[in-house]
Chain A
Amino acid sequence: MTPQKFKVWMMYVKLYKVKILITLAVVMLMITAVWGMMSLESFYRNQTLAMMPMQLMFSAVNALIFVYLYMSLFRTGGTASKNIRMKSNLVNVKWTDVIGLDAAKIEAWEVVQLIKDRAKVKNIGGKIIKGLLMLGPPGCGKTYLAKAIATESGMPFLSMAASEFVEMFVGVGAGRVRQLFKKARELASGYGGCIVFIDELDAIGRNRTFSQFGGQETNSTQNQLLVQIDGLQEKEENVIIIGATNAPEESLDPALLRPGRFDRKIFIDRPNLEERENIFAFYFSKVKYDKSLDIKRLARKSVYKTPADIENIVKESALIAARDGKDVIEFRHVSEAIERIDMGLKHRRSLAPKEKEQTAWHEAGHVVVLYLLHPARDVFKASIIGRREALGVVHSNPREELFTHSKEALLADIKTSLAGYVTEKIKFGTTSTGVDSDFNNAMSIAHNMVWRWGMSSIGMVGNFSFYETTGHGSDLAESTKEKLNAETQSILQACLKDVEELLKKEWKVTEHIANELLAKEELEYDEIDAIFKDYGKSQTKS
């Protein structure tokens, strides 16, 4: 037996020592039982055999009672956790399968190389990576990337969600952390390394609270995690811990983030246009779709969508196409899938003709202002079919990823929100409660423009909301508040005036869209664009 094989054998013995001991004990008991039976006289042997079914039944009943009591009384106790081990070849996520995380992949690849070449790094005196923290919004592929790292490095992969550590009883979580790392070290001793992946790390990694009223369990679990990560440095096992969270970095405990624990941080953001295109292409390659389907256009229409969202869109499109009796996915199926995901399922209500007409005009107003005034958003769809609480909706997409918003874009948002109200007023001489969410939106934007972002025309600069959010609202003079609120209202009034002027000017196209909506109930971007083009209008571009 080679030393390597012996090492692996020893690892198995260590890993499964309890199981091995139990198996040996059972085998010994069986042998002694048979031996004992054979030494009995046939009468007593037959008597024992005859009683065996009854004894087995009683044992089973006893075991059931014990398990029931155990589960009832202690199921949240005990540190035993589910089977968490996965072999890297069973994770089976290849590096090439990770689509659209180019920047993150470059950083992660480096980590893979460091894991593989641990000895080389040590030889040149480099510091060995102990932990890798992946941050970013949900659904962006953090877990997927972790699995790809495991596959590429060829190491065993222990995966646990941090919430699995947390239990009602203090100490259980810490016990599970110890158990996890013990297993990781045992595996590392045989395979030359092991990756521990803790998903949703914030469940145990958030800032510790030092209060007498609770939080001890989370604290002790996190303390144990810190100890275990530190413990790894004293020993030579090649155990790398990968954490993933969608919570902001600030919410994690600083002790966890300090060098020597999670040494590397990879921010995995939502994909950009090109990445979205690749992701769409990847998921569409797994389904049958109409080859005329413009993936680039879909990528443009899915700004801010995560890879998980895109996967969901393709899955939902396939379902809709199948229900539609089609063999391939068409653009309208994708469009309906996006709409269903973003806006929810259609909920047909029977509206009174007057109410339906009012809704159509309201949505037409939104469409006209959005199309003609908004510098950053495209109309995606207009509909007067109810969804959730809304009677109608105008769905729009950002044209590109923007991480800040200009004053013009914000004003356009306000105007778009107010357009429904203005249209109702012009057409019917009265308005309805359907403006509620529009006003909330417009008000919120105008308020923030004035109070937080210095976008007022009265020259007051600063984040005045800071006082309110930090509990020092009384430090702000009432006169200042009055001025700020007056300016908020003046923005809304100015926007209202602009919208009124625009709609009166474009009344014909508004009327056309309203009538089309009444006739068709839903209008796609292409149909809306065609109407505007008929009137010689083109979309505002920033």
Chain B
Amino acid sequence: MKSEVRKKNLFSVFCLLSSVLVALSIAGCEPTYPKGKFKESIIRLCKKEYKIDVKVKTVGKTVAIYLPLTNLLDFTFALTPDAGEKINQVILNITRVVLSTDAKYDFYCVMAHDVRIPEIQIVIIKSVEDVRRFLLGDISRGEYGKRMLIDMRIAPQAQKERAIKDVFDRMNIEKKWQEGVMQDFFMSDPATLGDIGYWAGKFYIKDIKLSEFLAEEIASRIRFSFRDDKSLNDSLILKSVKGVYTVLDSASGGSRYFKIDITTEPRAIDGFNSKAVSDELFGYALKVSYEVIHGYRFEDFDYVEIKSLADGRSSKVLKEDLNNYKPRKTKIDDVMVFDAF
């Protein structure tokens, strides 16, 4: 009798669990934001939840969102709290949609624009995979912050337009011809991440590749973290950093490499010639490069070239050496080959 009752109970439990599993499976099948309604979903969500009007465009595996604001910057050219909050809200929405869709996107790009001064814009580029890993607790908040590209700049297209218009005016070319020439030759699609923007009602975006994103991220990290390195900051002033991922054609050897150009100025006259300071700068750049490339498990490169434009010193770090590099343990001379000093 007992075993019969037990069998019945087990059967009931089995039925209950099965029905729950079936229900959960059905519930888990459909994406919340299907591919066909991807753009509409972002626009609808921003409008419904935060009453923000945005425009959306996709190119390849990149999504661009244009966010027009009336008070992006204050009189000191700092981001206003209200604008910051709206940007965050839009980022939250795009994150929700991009993670719960069956469309495959690798990057998204938020372009916030002040309608009063349309030339100035803030561009934020994020990797979807970084967002996913952050939400799953795979990377820390600090690391997540370092992995996004934030840039406040004058729209490159605006700069070009102003310069060309100036030339046309001086040449007394008629307005209608000016427009045609401008569209045909100076409003082309962006070639680099720095050219991404929104100008005169048009998106200037490109399908972002991981390699170029990483090159830009290395530069961005060096730029933003330089001030935290007290030793370097006491000796040098960072003027600019540029990161590029280059693929040479087969005639030139077919190499693929990251090129990091750093421009610095010495704080003291005699400090510039110090090899120790230069080594420290290269070591710092190497460490950042290693963190970024290793952090994304990126393999499609042969070497990393770091160049200090101030003293012309440059160094190559081969992929194998970079893979074996251990911050704090590896000596810089063991992995770097310097061309000149």
Contacts and interface: CB of A to CB of B under 8 A. Distances in A.
A37 B99 contact: no
Give the most central of B27, B99, B135: most A CB within 10 Å. Answer: B27
Nearest to B132: A43
Given A30-B20, A34-B27, A41 B96 contact: yes
A52 to B, nearest CB: 8
Interface string B244-270: 000000000000000000000000000
Contacts of B136: 47
B19 to A, nearest CB: 8
Contacts of B340: none
Interface string B133-160: 0011000000000000000000000000
Interface string B293-316: 000000000000000000000000
Contacts of A83: 2
B16 A26 contact: yes
9 contacts: A30-B20, A37-B28, A41-B99, A42-B28, A42-B99, A42-B100, A42-B101, A43-B132, A46-B28
Interface of B: 1-2, 16, 19-20, 23-24, 27-28, 30-33, 96, 99-101, 132, 135-136
Interface on chain A toward B: helix, strand, loop, or mixed SS?
helix
Range of interface residues on chain A? Answer: 10 to 19
Given A30-B16, A30-B20, A42 B96 contact: no
Given A30-B16, A34-B20, A90-B1, A43 B99 contact: yes
A42 B32 contact: yes
Interface in A18-72: 26-27, 30, 33-34, 37-38, 41-47, 49
A53 to B, nearest CB: 12
Contacts of A90: 1
Nearest to B98: A43
Contact of A38 (B20, B27, B99, B101): B27
A90 B5 CA distance: 13
Nearest to B97: A41
A44 B92 CA distance: 14
Contacts of A26: 16
A33 B20 contact: yes
A316 to B, nearest CB: 29
A47 B96 CA distance: 13
A15 B100 CA distance: 48
Given A42-B30, A42-B31, 4 more contacts: A37-B28, A41-B32, A42-B100, A47-B136
B96 A49 contact: no
A49 B30 contact: no
Contact of A45 (B20, B28, B33, B101): B28
Q: Would you list the 7 A-B pairs with minimal beta carbon distance, nearest first?
A: A43-B99, A41-B100, A42-B100, A34-B23, A38-B27, A43-B100, A41-B32
Interface string A61-93: 000000000000000000000010010001000
Nearest to A83: B2
Contacts of B24: 34, 37, 49
B29 to A, nearest CB: 9
B91 to A, nearest CB: 15
A123 to B, nearest CB: 37
Nearest to B30: A42
Nearest to A50: B136
A66 B51 CA distance: 50
Contacts of B101: 42
Contacts of B27: 34, 37-38, 45
Nearest to A34: B23
A14 to B, nearest CB: 19
Contacts of A42: 28, 30-33, 99-101
Contacts of A30: 16, 19-20
B95 to A, nearest CB: 9
Nearest to A43: B99
